[in-house]
Amino acid sequence: MTFLALVRHGETNWNLHGRLQGSSDIPLNDTGRAQAREAGYELEFRTWDHLVSSPLIRAAETADIIGAHLGLTRTAEFPDLAERHFGDAEGFTDWDAYSHWPDGRYPGLEPRSNLIVRGVRGVDDIAARYPDSAVIAVAHGGVIRAIFDAIRRRHSPRILNAGVSTLEHDGSRWTVRTINGVPV
């Protein structure tokens, strides 16, 4: 069985100001670094075998902060765990994006169906690469939520910055155990 902790990256200035980040490579702010340290404390409940992340700097930095606390080194990046690409709306606030594209169809927006396929493929790759292991994977709220929606076949709650959610793979399927630390 693979036990996976999916952790959303800590806060960035774009999160703070309500800007769509998507695939833009935005670093953590000081609050985000503190949140990553808190996630490290939350993850002390077990021994971890591997630490991986999305290739985006906010996820990688969060993983490295968690790893420093737990004595783990990040060993891989999984591009499928990167955040959804919001196309021309990246950098816009929700309101600004809505004022330009009230139908929500931003030019260059990655379809949600692609995000779901990519996200599930990412966690499946982790389970295949690290069978019978406990793995921390740091990713992004949109992709984590898409993964959970696909596995649970229902709408999942918003994923909090540095929120720790857990799932298990029994060799054939995933089961979500917690979302933002809350049992489901």
pLDDT at 127: 98
Are 178 and 165 in contact by the 8 Å Cβ rule? The answer is yes
Residue with tokens 């906010």: 58
The CA distances from residue 28 to 47, 57, 86, 128, 156, in Å, are 26, 8, 19, 30, 25
Nearest alpha carbon to residue 178 among 14, 42, 57: 42
> For 17-34, how does the pLDDT look when each residue is reduced to its tens digit (9 = 90+)?
999 999 999 999 999 999
> For 41-53, how does the pLDDT look when each residue is reduced to its tens digit (9 = 90+)?
999 999 999 999 9
- pLDDT-flagged residues of the chain (< 50): none
Residues belonging to the chain: 184
pLDDT at 77: 98
Active-site entry in 11, 50, 61, 83: 83
Q: Rounded to whole angstroms, how far apart are CA atoms 178 and 165?
A: 5
Are 20 and 82 in contact by the 8 Å Cβ rule? The answer is no
**Is 9 tagged catalytic?**
yes
Count of helices and strands (H, E) across the chain: 6, 7
pTM above 0.85, yes or no: yes
Active-site entry in 9, 85, 140, 169: 9
Q: Rounded to whole angstroms, how far apart are CA atoms 98 and 106?
A: 9
Q: Rounded to whole angstroms, how far apart are CA atoms 63 and 100?
A: 35
Tokens of 83: 């955040």
